[in-house]
Every structure is written in structure tokens, then in C-alpha cells.
Amino acid sequence: MDINSEYIELFTDIAQQIELPKIEGFCLPQSDNDYENTNQEHNKKDIVTIDKNLKKKDEFGVVILEDGSAGAFYTSLDDTLIQLENHLENIYSNIKDENQSTLSLIKKFNSHSLHERAIALGAINAVSQFIMDKAGYIPTNKNNTSTGIDQARQGERIGMIGYFSPLIKRLTKKGIEVLVLEKNPGRVELQAGVVLTENVKDLTSCQHILCTASTLINYTLDEVLSHSKQAKSFSLIGPSGSSLPDILFERGVNAIGGYHFTDIPALKLALANKESWGHAGNKYQLTPEDYPGVETLLNRIKNKAK
């Protein structure tokens, strides 16, 4: 079974054990005109929008649940954002018809449509944050953790799936070669110590892997993992990776860097003002050593409800 189908199976099981919050609305990078038209029709702020011209800065959408939990998802893969803008009304209507069913959105995670998988991951991330909060589990602040980036040593090669430009200098200064696997080569700034490839098989030469969580959306994570078995560490990072990590840990991922929204009003205000929303929450990291597991979290929730 592929990773996406496993996620659907997991969250379907979770929904049978505890009640999931309903969906309140979405935050999407779309035009100001679309924002006005959409909100006039619904007469409520279910959908918050930001200027698409800020694509480099604001390339994530957010699914918000009625309890205040929220989950981000990447919107800049191919035409994801355009498709979401074109189909958002249908998506919204469908969950309304199903009484704002969060699970119905999650079940789109193995859809043939990229935009449906993207927003489904946002719902998965939002429910994951709800579960961790409800169980009283606080993930480790990412600033206080060690990742494959820190573990890599001079002379080693680190595979970078997706281009994380701020990390390049940090790695090359340590004498670490960076192999960048990027579907949009034009994004990569070629320089000493950086090798560009479009062949996933080249990852077999890497001692450490740093992978964008958007691979959960474009159906490539299974393939990436199959060529990374020799790596000493595999880290999945980015706001899109804010899901319960059980499935990923079982497949050999060593660390997951996610994002926890703690201030939804600040998030909405930042998006409305076309500003960064980094202050609306915090980054965190999960590892197999410090994560208790989904069954433990669910048992904590059930015990609290007694």
C-alpha cells in the first residue's frame, strides 16, 4: 500500500475512535478579487486570501478546524494554486453537504488530482495538531534538536530533495557536498559544492537525506525512500510535514520537521495583510525516540474523556 492510502486508512480508523473537529474554512494564496467575490457569496470569513504575487513568500495554504487547530499545505507544485482557485467552491460545497466532514477531505489524499491531494494533506495536518494538543503532547522545539544537517560531516554528501537555499552555504562551508534533486532546475543556484540532478537514483550516493514534505503531495516520497535506504539519516521537513509521523517512521524516516499554529487570529491577520505568518506558531521536530505513537495519544484523549 502506498503512503497516501496508508494515511487515509489511519485517519479513518482515528475517526472511528474519537470525534474529529469539523472544518471551519481555508486560507489560500489567491487574488484580492477572488477574496471579495468568495466572501460575498458565503457571507462569512471561511476563506482568507493573500496576493498571489507574493508566491515566493506565501506558497502555503491552511486548513482550519472549528476547534482552532490548523494545518498547512504546499500550493506551489505545478498548477496546484490555480486548480484550487478554480475548484475551491466545489470543495467547500462538498464538505458543507457532508456537514463539514474533515474525513471526507482527508479521503482525497489519494486522488488523481494534485490540488485535492494538497488540501487533503492540510486536513491531515490540522487533525494531527488537534490530536497532539488534545493528548497534551508538546513536540520538541526544532531549535533544540539535531538533524541530518548537523550530523553530516566533511567529505560526506547530503541529498536535498527540493531546493532549500538558506541551507546551502551552511552545508558547503562544512565541506559537505549537496546533491539537489529538483524538478524545477531553474530554481537552483549552481555553485561550488552543489550538484544538480533530476534522477532519483542518484540519492543512493548520499549519506544523509533532507526531503521536502511536498513529496507527500506529488506522490514521490515512496520512490525517494526506496533509493535512500543506505542513508544514515532521512529528515522530512516543511509545514506540509506536520502530520502524525507513525507511517513515516515505519518506512525509515528518522526525523520530521513540522509547524504548529498557536494563534489563528494572528495567522488570518497576517494573511489578510500579505505578511509572513511565522509568528503565528512555531517549528518543531519529531523523532521516533521522543514521539509516543498515535495509539498512546488516542488513549490519552479517551482517558481524559472518561
Sorted by where each starts, the structural domains of the chain and their CATH numbers stand as 3-140+261-280 (no CATH), 141-256 (3.40.50.11590)
Convert the pLDDT of each residue in 148-165 to its tens digit.
Answer: 677 788 899 999 998 888
- Cα 171 to chain centroid distance, Å, stands at 23
- Asked if the model's pLDDT at residue 49 lies above 90, the reply is no
- Asked if the model's pLDDT at residue 40 lies above 90, the reply is no
Phi-psi bin for 219: left (phi > 0), alpha (psi -120 to 50), beta? left
DSSP secondary structure, 199-233, as one string: -GGGGGG-SEEEEEGGGGTTT-HHHHHHT-TT-SE
Residue in the structure block whose three cell numbers are 511536498: 214
The pTM score is: 0.88
Convert the pLDDT of each residue in 196-234 to its tens digit.
Answer: 999 999 999 999 999 999 999 999 999 999 999 999 999
CA–CA separation, 145 and 153 (whole Å): 17
Convert the pLDDT of each residue in 111-145 to its tens digit.
Answer: 999 999 999 999 999 999 999 999 999 987 765 44
C-alpha grid cell, residue 93: 460545497
Q: Are 128 and 291 in contact (CB under 8 A)?
A: no
C-alpha grid cell, residue 180: 539537489
Order of strands, sheet of 177-181, starting from the edge strand that comes earlier in the sequence: 140-141, 281-286, 255-261, 233-237, 208-212, 157-161, 177-181, 194-197
Spatial CA neighbour of 257 closest among 224, 276, 233, 277: 233
Q: Say which amino acid occupies 191.
A: Q
Spatial CA neighbour of 24 closest among 3, 45, 43: 45
pLDDT given for residue 30 in this prediction: 52
pLDDT given for residue 100 in this prediction: 64
C-alpha grid cell, residue 54: 507574493
Q: In the chain, pLDDT over 70 holds for what percent of residues?
A: 87
CA–CA separation, 295 and 85 (whole Å): 37
Q: Are 238 and 257 in contact (CB under 8 A)?
A: yes
Band of residue 147 on the pLDDT scale cut at 50, 70, 90? low
In 10 A of CB 8, how many CB atoms?
A: 18
Alpha-helical regions (H) of the chain: 3-17, 32-42, 80-97, 102-106, 114-134, 148-151, 165-172, 221-226, 246-250, 264-272, 294-305
E strand or H helix at 284: strand 281-286
In 10 A of CB 149, how many CB atoms?
A: 19
